[in-house]
Amino acid sequence: MAILASIFLMLAITLIPAFRSTLNQQGQINDLRDRLALQRHTVAALQQEQRQWSDPAYVEQQARERLKFVRVGETSYTVIDGQAAPDDSGPKIAAPEQVSAASSPWYSRMWQSLVIADTPASAPTLDQPSPALPAPHG
């Protein structure tokens, strides 16, 4: 009985590492199959895109959409702001936001002054006095 047990023990010691490496290799094979399937899917998508780019109508459509190309004699229009402007009847005057100078960095204040300078103010009419400008902070 001891001889039979020692033979089974020797077989187990010999076969367990081989069985473990077989399972490891099977896992690697499954991972490689998954990667191969993903790459085949990617290749199919790229081939579809290549077929689209070989079609002159698709190339023209992309040039019109992406590069804003137009044919000779056509006029191109670009809508900058797709939302309608609010209808305010009163005059608008650009004014800085009420932010303390200590809480904002210098480049933020400089950018804000550029935005204010770029915002057009409606010209005062004879009926309305011009608004007083705030004194500069120094």
Q: Which residue has the higher pLDDT, 83 or 53?
A: 53
- Show the tokens assigned to 104: 């904002």
pTM of the prediction? 0.43
* Position 22 in a domain: yes
How do residues 85-135 score in pLDDT, each as one tens digit? Answer: 666 665 555 555 565 656 778 888 888 888 888 877 665 555 555 455 555
In a domain, 73, yes or no: no
pLDDT in tens, 95-104: 555 656 567 7
138: pLDDT strictly greater than 50:
no
Answer whether residue 80 is part of any domain.
no
* Domains: count for the chain: 1
Residue 128 inside a domain? The answer is no
Q: Is residue 113 part of a domain?
A: no
From the CB of residue 48, how many other CB atoms can be counted at a distance below 10 Å? 10
Rounded CA separation 56/52 (Å): 9
Q: Whole domain around residue 49: which residue ranges? A: 2-67
How far is the C-alpha of 95 from the C-alpha of 98, rounded, in Å? 9
When pLDDT is cut at 50, 70 and 90, the band that residue 80 belongs to is: confident
